[in-house]
Amino acid sequence: QVQLVQSGAEVKKPGASVKVSCKASGYTFTSYDINWVRQATGQGLEWMGWMNPNSGNTGYAQKFQGRVTMTRNTSISTAYMELSSLRSEDTAVYYCARGAGYMVRGVSDYWGQGTLVTVSS
Amino acid sequence: SYELTQPPSVSVSPGQTARITCSGDALPKQYAYWYQQKPGQAPVLVIYKDSERPSGIPERFSGSSSGTTVTLTISGVQAEDEADYYCQSADSSGTVVFGGGTKLTVL
């Protein structure tokens, strides 16, 4: 069965960076995009970007351009999302999700369990 | 920037029909997708390409599109359907966006 298992919760200081991992299993990792979505407490979903694990190509939401980097290690079927220059507004649950392959890139059919990132001084 | 507009909340009694709308200028040209999210859980895709239902999603979930508005319909609502629902689509340049979400309350 398809599974996406994310790394554990993180606490970071303002200005620091965080790197969240997402290990995929149950399917061919390089055949589907990995999307990243975040959700602040009590708020809605916010799309951050996508990565093609086969090519390494990425597409980021304009809001995160220059601050986010999505990478992968195909040998261990793991995707990574690194967000830099953290501020308190970045406190949220970060989800990785498998791209569903539909016409709108960024649609997801399987999701990780989420990783809580807390930014606090 | 492109926005998808959803009502903040919808309330229905068990067994009734719930309709959740999502409006956006690009929806006549871009498909919409719907997710259900229950507290403390990751979202689940319930409708794709406006009206298609993934395997495992109950038949009471359906979707439709008319002009700049798409609608998620839940027929014969059950208590377990109480959740937040989000639409997702893209603008003409392919930039992905979520709607603000609608909280469905089953009275």
CB neighbourhood size of B16 (10 A): 13
Per-residue pLDDT of A32-54, as tens digits, reads 999 999 999 999 999 999 999 99
How many A-B residue pairs are in contact by the CB < 8 A criterion?
Answer: 66
What's the rounded Cα separation, in Å, for the pair B87 and B6? 8
Cβ contacts of B99 on chain A, cutoff 8 Å: 44
Backbone phi, psi, residue A76, to 5°: -125, 15
Distance from CA of A106 to the nearest CA of B (A): 6
Q: Given pLDDT bands bounded at 50, 70 and 90, which one contains residue A101?
A: confident
Question: In this complex, is the C-beta atom of A47 within 8 Å of any C-beta atom belonging to chain B?
Answer: yes
Residue whose tokens read 């999210």: B37
Question: What three-state secondary structure class fits A43?
Answer: coil
CB neighbourhood size of B72 (10 A): 27
For residue B43, the one-letter residue type is P
A62/B35 touch (CB, cutoff 8 Å), yes or no: no
Per-residue pLDDT of A54-83, as tens digits, reads 999 999 999 999 999 999 999 999 999 999
B96/A112 touch (CB, cutoff 8 Å), yes or no: no
